[in-house]
């Protein structure tokens, strides 16, 4: 493995470092719109009952988590998804996939609890779902090749696809994305427990041919496009660890403090529609030289529309 041989002679810091890539402002705006959508979806389906409905499964009263009852008051009503009143299906982590034209293909949530499985992560569930859906619907444009040569085979299926995930991916999910040859993965919060596995896989699978993409998706921390909520979540998680001695990121993602950050992003998504965009007409240039179908203005429309669809479909419990 040529890349591994190369890195064996270098300090580990080079293997785990973020991949340097200057993101143009226009593209930053596009990433921001999708990221706000993802945070809005997590906020909508937020559930802080990590140990069951109304925390009734707690072995003892805990002050670690915010209570859903606190989240909505007559003075501060917070209209939420159905799950708020329900049991805890999984952690407050979501992911969705965007095709090369800019359309959102589908979403999924972490479902570890409902399936009593440590593998039911949002990204893994999402990608398995996208592979399944491709068997019945190939309307989205995911390939990096021209129409004439595009292929729906599993090896190429995700090569034009960007995954947005609210939490940095683990080894399992990075592995699935690599097997699917996904283009890039944007994550909105760093997970120190994943030891930069996404960066490592990206660097080890990079091609020496600059025109060929790495097998692993390029990881993009939302800080790379100046997403304020990335640093906010990082900071609040740091404070949570210090105050509680609990270093579980999924416990942090049950707190009211974390929820308020997601709610803020949800507000910003809806404000964007009124305030306007800086680069409404910009379209992403694709590898082939053609442009993506959606401009940033269209992406915002797409995201607001997808949010409505998601609010209806909500927190489905599918086995994939």
Site residues (vs Zn ion, CB under 5 A): 121, 170, 172-173
Of the pair 176, 263, the CB lying nearest Zn ion is at 176
Of the pair 32, 121, the CB lying nearest Zn ion is at 121
CB of 121 to Zn ion, least distance (A): 3
CB of 194 to Zn ion, least distance (A): 8
Of the pair 33, 249, the CB lying nearest Zn ion is at 249
CB of 125 to Zn ion, least distance (A): 9
Alpha carbon distance 157, 134 (integer Å): 8
Alpha carbon distance 159, 168 (integer Å): 20
CB of 249 to Zn ion, least distance (A): 12
User: In the numeric block, which tokens belong to residue 250?
Assistant: 């999924």
Cα-flanking dihedrals φ and ψ of residue 274, to 5°?
-90, -40
Of the pair 121, 196, the CB lying nearest Zn ion is at 121
Structural contact between residues 122 and 95, judged by C-beta atoms closer than 8 angstroms: yes
Of the pair 118, 149, the CB lying nearest Zn ion is at 118
Taking CA atoms, 252 is separated from 16, 17, 87, 264, in Å, by 25, 26, 18, 17
CB of 275 to Zn ion, least distance (A): 34
CB of 76 to Zn ion, least distance (A): 33
């Amino acid at each position: 493995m040529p890349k591994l041989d190369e890195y064996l002679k270098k300090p580990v810091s080079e293997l785990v470092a973020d991949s340097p890539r200057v993101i143009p402002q226009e593209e930053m705006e596009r990433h921001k719109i999708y990221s706000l959508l993802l945070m809005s979806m997590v906020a909508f389906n937020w559930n802080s009952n990590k140990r069951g409905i109304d925390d009734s499964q707690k072995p003892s009263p805990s002050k670690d988590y915010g209570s859903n009852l606190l989240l909505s008051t007559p003075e501060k009503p917070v209209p939420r998804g159905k799950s708020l009143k329900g049991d805890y299906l999984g952690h407050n982590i979501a992911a969705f996939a965007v095709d090369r034209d800019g359309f959102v293909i589908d979403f999924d949530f972490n479902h570890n609890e409902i399936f009593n499985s440590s593998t039911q992560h949002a990204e893994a569930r999402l990608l398995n779902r996208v592979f399944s859906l491709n068997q019945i619907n190939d309307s989205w444009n995911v390939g990096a090749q021209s129409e004439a040569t595009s292929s729906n085979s599993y090896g190429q299926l995700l090569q034009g696809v960007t995954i947005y995930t609210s939490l940095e991916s683990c080894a399992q999910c990075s592995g699935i994305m690599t097997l699917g040859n996904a283009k890039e993965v944007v994550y909105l919060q760093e997970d120190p427990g994943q030891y930069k596995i996404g960066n490592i896989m990206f660097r080890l699978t990079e091609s020496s041919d600059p025109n060929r993409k790495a097998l692993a998706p390029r990881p993009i921390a939302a800080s790379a496009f100046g997403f304020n909520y990335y640093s906010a979540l990082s900071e609040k998680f740091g404070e949570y660890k210090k105050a509680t001695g609990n270093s579980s990121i999924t416990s942090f993602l049950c707190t009211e403090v974390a929820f308020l950050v997601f709610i803020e992003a949800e507000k910003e998504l809806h404000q964007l529609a009124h305030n306007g965009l800086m680069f409404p007409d910009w379209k992403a240039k694709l590898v082939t030289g053609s442009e993506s179908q959606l401009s940033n203005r269209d992406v915002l429309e797409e995201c607001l529309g997808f949010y409505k669809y998601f609010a209806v479909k909500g927190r489905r419990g599918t086995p994939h």
